[in-house]
Amino acid sequence: MESKTLNKGSLATFLRAIAVLVLACALTGVGSHAAGAARGHQHRHKHKRHHRPHRQAIRGSLHNGHVKIVKAPPVHGKGGGVDPGDDYPPRWKKPPQDAVVDQWGMYNRECTSFVAWALHSRNGFEMPFHQNANRWGPIAAKRGFTVNSNPAVGSVAWSNAGVFGHVAYVVAVNNGNVTVEEYNYFGRGAYDKRVVSARSFTGYIHFKDLPSAETPSAPPPTTTPTPPATPPSTTTYAETTGGVTHTWTNYTNAGGTEGPSIPSNATVLVSCALTGFRVADGNTWWYRIASSPWNDAFYASADAFYNNGQTSGSLIGTPFVDSAVRHC
């Protein structure tokens, strides 16, 4: 009887020991899994990155910056009276965004750098300060430049919204809307062009506005002058635009009736060339557009075309007129 009793007691003790051991292992596994999960969460949290807006201009003196300064290329004529499109120089366009600084103290591929370039190459104006876009309006006003709500071709559309604001270059004004060219509006450091309400911006800075062929300040004459008589001819000449090009019935003042615009990098047939309204960079040559739907009834500034057989790239440095085109 003692032997049976002893065996039962030993068996009970053994089973209790096994149960304690199993419970301890289970608790250790749960703790290890929880600790591992916590470490994993900490690891993921440690490597999570948040995008932060970058300054658009350097702080302080232009010569005290830690980023390489890359100067603008020479400018030869074109720009101003036409819409040249994305003519931002490759020396700033190709490096990664914010990798270099232009000669005006703006980081490359930022809105401020593109507008500073447009003012330099199209308006013949040099930016007198370097600052983020949201400070352009107040600083310009303090320096005596006109800042108001009235857009003009060649003015700077300015917004103080967001962390650093935004600026764009006005290429056209029409019926309460503005057409602007800009960089980095979508945060990719790239070019785009938009047509928006003029009220979309905080205001407009008038550093050195351009004479506007799109919106002539003087009313058109009561009678449209008759162009020189042109003998019947079937000869036409293929010319390619370097940007969106406006057409008009009156080549003497870029007015009269506005015709359909010619798309950028489109090749059309022209009948002849003649002199008329002087655009911003001094060119006075115009083409009579033979292709449909213009049908020799509308004219476009020859300044808007490559005039040398070229069909893409920048208009800067290209001829004002194709010498092969006969005179009207």
- What is the pLDDT averaged over residues 97-103? 87
pLDDT for residue 132: 92
Strand partners, 193: 181
Distance CA(95)–CA(89), nearest Å, equals 11
**Alpha carbon distance 153, 180 (integer Å):** 9
pLDDT above 60 (res 308): yes
Question: What six digits make up the tokens of 152?
Answer: 């003009």
Which of left, alpha, beta for 296 (phi over 0: left; psi -120 to 50: alpha)?
A: left
pLDDT of 8 above 70: no
pTM of the model: 0.50
276 Cβ contact list (under 8 Å, min separation 6): 251, 252, 253, 254, 284, 286, 299
Q: What pLDDT band is residue 282 in, cutting at 50, 70 and 90?
A: confident
Mean residue pLDDT of the chain comes to: 79
What are the backbone angles phi and psi of residue 69, rounded to the nearest 5°? -95, 125
Model confidence at 143, pLDDT cuts 50, 70, 90, reads: very high
Buried b (16+ CB within 10 A) or exposed e, 125-134: bebeebbbbb
Residue 161, pLDDT score = 87
Q: With beta carbons less than 8 A apart as the criterion, state whether 273 and 286 touch.
A: yes
Q: Identify whether the C-beta of residue 177 lies closer than 8 Å to the C-beta of residue 235.
A: no
